[in-house]
Chains A and B, each alone.
Chain A
Amino acid sequence: MKTNALHMVGAINEALRQEMTKDERVVVYGEDVGVDGGVFRVTDGLHAEFGDQRCFDSPLAESGIVGTAIGLAINGMRPVVEIQFSGFLFEAFAQIMCHAVRVRNRSRGRFTCPMVIRTPYSGGIKALEHHIESEEAYLAHLAGLKVVIPSTPFDAKGLLLAAIRDPDPVVFFEPKRLYRSFKQEVPEQDYIIPIGKAALVREGTDLTLIAYGAMVRECHEAAAQAEKEGISCQIIDVRTISPIDRETIIAAVQSTGRAIIVQEAPRSFSVASEIMSFLYENLFQSLKAPIARVTGFDIVNPMARGEDLYLPNQNRVFQEIKKVMG
């Protein structure tokens, strides 16, 4: 099997290129995705290779981008649109909430909406106001929408291919901090990583760390630090926020009896809150310690100079591990 060392940017680009080659219905559009190749260069080269009809710039209008993609999807195309930054998803929120997620249900299956909304997401690169937030909870709250967040180049390619082939709408969050932070061997061949499946990415026996996106790496580092003190941490990468893989997460926590959920998003009404509640519903009797969360805070996201205060990091995760282990 041939593989190439790719950053996440390269892996996503490869997935788009391969699916555009394979499936003529796939079109890619959004702000600056054409000649410029996207502000993060995720769509680099696609315009040159596939031309104006397959990869193109749209007017600067998120509701327009998503709303027209719904129409394209209904009428036989497979749009993969880009919202330049996830902070601007909300200009399109009414189209997602009132239409994309309901097309199948309200037509009792007569019409469907197979589309992907890709968007650079979350913090850690000292970006501008509205370019640092983590919006997954708002989206995950919508019935009828799948929400995916990769944490590695390998997963990004397989998950994106699965998303494009999915019969329903998918929001694909790409953690900006991971775009070029590390490379991984990525198979050239076609493969998918199923939506709705979490992964056990580190074995351990004392405690389960549950994270996604850029926080997976912070967990790996905290786990390595804990290991030096004789604490064995397991890590679950959630990968799909909705529908969430309860089985894998519950089984993991059952095996250790302790859990810490880590996310960048604000603490209240969040993905961590949801994971915590199904863990308690299912495992209350077998827990060795209360479940803990390491999260962002219930405040407006600080801008770049205050970002480090806000974002969970290895240190905060490690402190929590010590606390949970007592």
Chain B
Amino acid sequence: MGIIDKFDPLKEQMVQILDQDGNHKEDMLPAEMTDEVVKEMYEKIWYVRLCNDRAFKMQRSGRLGTFASVKGHEACQLAVNLALKETDWVVPYFREQAIMWDHGVPMENIYLYWKGNEWGSHIPEGVKCLPPSVPVGSQMLHAVGISWAAKMRGEDEITATFFGDGATSEGDFHEAMNFAGVFKTGTIFICQNNQYAISVRRNVQTAAKTIAQKAIAYGMPGVLVDGNDPFAMYAVTKEAAERARKGEGPTLIEAYLYRFDDHTTSDDASKYRDESEVENWKPRDAVIRMQKYLAKKGLWSEKYQEELIESLKPKVEEMVKKIDEHPDPTVDDIFGYTFAELSPEMERQKEYLKKSLGQ
């Protein structure tokens, strides 16, 4: 019996391996979680977080548009990616800076999208990750289709798709879960339950006690996991990935975590939640527990932390430079991709626009 079967979502049992004091359950610790791996993940979280903070500053100074902060979701996403192969697919919603980047999308692409430039979504050749999907819940169906195609074509590719707690209210969630169950697709559904959909609390989305339990009705396993615990997220995703690869079908993972920032840069969370709630969640942040875990092993010190941050700064600035320097779309560019070929009328419209701009 694997971990997934041992935890009953109907009883609100949650998988946790690393607690907030940095203590871990030895018997459940995945063998792959070597010190190097943990340290590398810790460093990646910091890179993602620094980019996120820097992007926030860019947004405030008008160099970037509205975007959704990833803070509090990084460890969950990086742990999932660790359980995937490069040849597997990632189908994100719009808060997946960490896994998109770790799966091969350059960070400047991700934020260029949030600058409002379509070239951000021009994912490098060979990287199996879709661009962000803004219509809530819609991408889950694509993920099912992608993993289904892999099955039809006999490819060893599975798909991990992400969505929020709010997304589980959309009809698309039901349809995606249902198709995946019926056609036994190799899809891993990862619900990042960060307790809010903008201002709306989780209990307004569903009267069910957990989101994980919804899996039962679709004939697939569902498991509630501490989303700030990268060890638990890794162990569970690995099992779900094995099931998917063996053709045993989809799994629903509810990653229970918290959105530390406002919903997006356009939101003001103080309107609907108390600062004390945020403070209460802070000690559960993955960064803190990983730091404690590493410190216990003598692998973390303040000096190490300072050096880490210093070493990441130039990398972050490199990203900023690439975003700032990226040219804005031209007339040819905005007309170039609606179809493979422009219709005569589109051609006329393009020429008109150029002329009206004196080009």
Contact = CB atoms under 8 A, between A and B. Distances in A.
Interface of A: 31-32, 34-37, 39, 57-64, 87-88, 91, 126-131, 267-268, 297-300, 302-307, 309-310, 315-316, 319
Contacts of A87: 135
Nearest to A319: B356
B333 A306 contact: yes
A129 B271 contact: no
B329 A306 contact: yes
Interface string B129-162: 0000011110000000000000000000000000
B345 A298 contact: yes
The secondary structure that dominates the A interface is loop
Interface in B199-235: 199-200, 204-206
Contact of A39 (B117, B137, B198): B198
A60 B116 contact: no
- Interface bin, chain B: 35 or more
Most chain B Cβ neighbours within 10 Å, of A35, A39, A61: A61
B199 A300 contact: no
Interface in B338-359: 338, 343, 345-346, 349-350, 353, 356-357
29 contacts: A31-B198, A31-B200, A32-B200, A35-B272, A36-B199, A57-B199, A58-B204, A59-B205, A60-B205, A64-B169, A126-B65, A127-B65, A127-B66, A128-B66, A129-B134, A268-B345, A297-B334, A299-B334, A299-B349, A300-B338, A302-B118, A303-B113, A303-B117, A303-B118, A304-B65, A305-B329, A306-B116, A306-B117, A309-B331
Interface string B297-334: 00000000000000000000000000000001111011
A126 B115 CA distance: 9
B266 A39 contact: yes
A60 B333 contact: no
Contacts of B338: 298-300
A37 B267 CA distance: 12
B197 interface: yes
B166 interface: yes
A130 B137 CA distance: 14
A121 to B, nearest CB: 16
Nearest to A38: B199
Contacts of A303: 113, 116-118
Given A60-B166, A267-B349, A91 B266 contact: no
Contacts of A310: 334
Contacts of B267: 39
A119 to B, nearest CB: 14
Given A60-B197, A298-B343, A300-B337, 13 more contacts: A39-B198, A57-B200, A59-B169, A59-B205, A60-B136, A60-B137, A126-B65, A128-B134, A299-B334, A299-B335, A304-B115, A306-B118, A319-B356
